Every structure is written in C-alpha cells, then in structure tokens.
Amino acid sequence: MAPGHANTVSWRLVSPLAATYVLLFLAPLLLLLTISLYDDSNLSRIGGTQWVKFFGDPFYLSVIWRTVRLGLFTVGATTALSLPLALVFCASRPTIQRVLLLIVILPLLTSVVVRTFAWIAILAREGVINETLLSLGLVSEPFPLLQSEAGLVLALTQIEMPLMMLPLVTAMRAIDPSVLDASRALGASRWRTLFKVILPLSMPGWLAGATLVFASSVTAFISQSVIGGGRLVYLPSVIWQQAMVVYNWPFAAVAAVTLLATVLGGITLLAAAANRIGGR
C-alpha cells in the first residue's frame, strides 16, 4: 500500500473519533467559556464582570485552595495505603491475589450514593469509629468526623482506592524480575531495592492513579455534599448552587472553567513530581 493511501485510510479511521471529540468536548467547553464572559444572568451584555467577581472575592479563592487541598490529601492517603497493598499483592500467591483484587474493586461494584451514605453511619458521632474508640477508652468524647475534612478524606480514600491500587499493581507487575535480582546481587538491601528500583519504576503507575484519584476526588459532588455537608464548600457545590439555585449561569460557568483549570493544574503538578522522583 502506498504511503499516501495509508495516510488517507488512517485519517478516515480517526475522523469519527475526532468528530465525536469536537462535538462532545470542545463545543461544550467553548460554549461554557462564552457564557462565562456575560455580565448578567440574562446573557444580554458581554464583559468580564463575573471573572472579576469570582477572583476578587477571598471566599472563592479559599474555595479553590480547599478543593485542591482535598485532592492532594486524598492522593496522599490513597498512596500511603495502596503502596504496601500493591507490594503484598505482587508477592502473594494467585489465590491471595484474587481475594485482594476482589476487596480492592468491591467499591467499584457499589453505587457511589450507597457508599457515601454508608460512610455517614461510620463517621457519625454514634457511628462505628466513635463507638469503637469510646469503648476502648481511647477518647472521652466522640470525634466530629462527619461534616469535617478529615472524615471526607477518609471516605474518599476508600472510594477512590481502586483508582490508585490497580495502576500501581500493573506497573509493579511489569517490572522485570531480573532487575530486582541484579539489585540484590549488587548488595542492595530490600529497603534500598524498594526505594531505588521498585518505586522509581512504578512512577508511571502512580502517576496514572494519582491523576485519576485527584480528578475524581475534587469533582466528587455527592460525597462532598453528603459527608462534607454545608460547612465545607468546594467548587462543585459552588457550580451547583449558582446554576440550579441562584440561576446565575455566567458565574457558574466561571466556577466550572476554574474547576477544569484546577484539575489540569493539579495533574500537571503531580506529573512534574512523578518525573522528578523517577529521575532521581
């Protein structure tokens, strides 16, 4: 087949996907940007008033930081739990691996609404965690876990765990065993092999998992609303309130574009951190 004909065939195969991408992503994004430029909810005058109002208010700036912090905390918590579990998974027998895999993916088999409301029973003042701590005498009064950032991060960690665990396991299982044997043959201890060989080679898997966890946690409107309640305000709740309660579509569009930029910025920072660690 001639090179020119091959290129024509490839473009024909790609064109349906490209058209779908433009129709379902670029066009709504451009529409969102256009709406954000209007000055009022009647969409009668174009300007930048809504952008000035959003970024000129310290409250909304704190909402942006709170949203980013939630994503970073969730990434850190899922990483701390997924790394040891992934190492145990790779070192276990196939039977144990199947059991661990079922436990990990079990949250994906349950509705996010059911999982979120289940965490209310766990985090409440009379919930499982507080009742256990009180019965053991470790605390004198219940912790305010519900409607707190700590409780929300705890719930999101369990919900987002498969998104971090599965890419890490895939990356670790792709490591050539001869590389680990060479590390041990050169006199490296298990800890040195872990930090100098396994973790750097697992960075692509961690980056994929961190990207998914960060993007999913900062946009988890149901979990943020149910567990966080009205005390914790994040960008998704601002978008919902401005669009569905106040009907201020330009301001909601500004918040939506800001959320998209926040997610992309967080992913960029995570990628830079992963490349730096992997390079070392």
Contacts for 218 with CB less than 8 Å, ≥ 6 apart: 67, 68, 70, 71, 234, 235, 236, 259, 262, 263, 266
Average pLDDT over residues 50-70: 91
Query: What's the confidence (pLDDT) of residue 272?
Result: 81
Of 260, 273, 279, the C-alpha closest to 79 is 273
Of 178, 180, 177, the C-alpha closest to 189 is 180
Average pLDDT over residues 144-149: 82
Name the least confident of 57-71, 105-119, 216-230, 240-254.
Answer: 105-119
Q: What pTM value is reported for the model?
A: 0.84
> Which range, 57-71, 93-107, 125-139, has the best average confidence (pLDDT)?
57-71
Query: What's the confidence (pLDDT) of residue 43?
Result: 65
8 A C-beta contact, residue 157 and residue 81: yes
Query: What's the confidence (pLDDT) of residue 131?
Result: 82
For residue 206, give Cα distances in angstroms to 200, 203, 211, 219, 252.
10, 5, 8, 20, 33
Q: Could you tell me the pLDDT band of residue 5, with boundaries at 50, 70 and 90?
A: low
Question: ∠ CA(172), CA(175), CA(180), 5° rounding?
Answer: 110
Residue 224 has pLDDT above 80, yes or no: yes
CATH of segment(s) 45-279: 1.10.3720.10
Average pLDDT over residues 186-212: 84
Which 8-state DSSP code applies to residue 64? H
171: its two tokens: 């990356």
Share of the chain above pLDDT 70, in %: 93
Domain residue ranges in the chain: 45-279
21: its two tokens: 């991408």
Query: What's the confidence (pLDDT) of residue 24?
Result: 80
Name the least confident of 106-110, 159-163, 254-258.
Answer: 106-110
**3-state secondary structure string across 140-166:** CCCCCCCCCHHHHHHHHHHHHHHHHHH
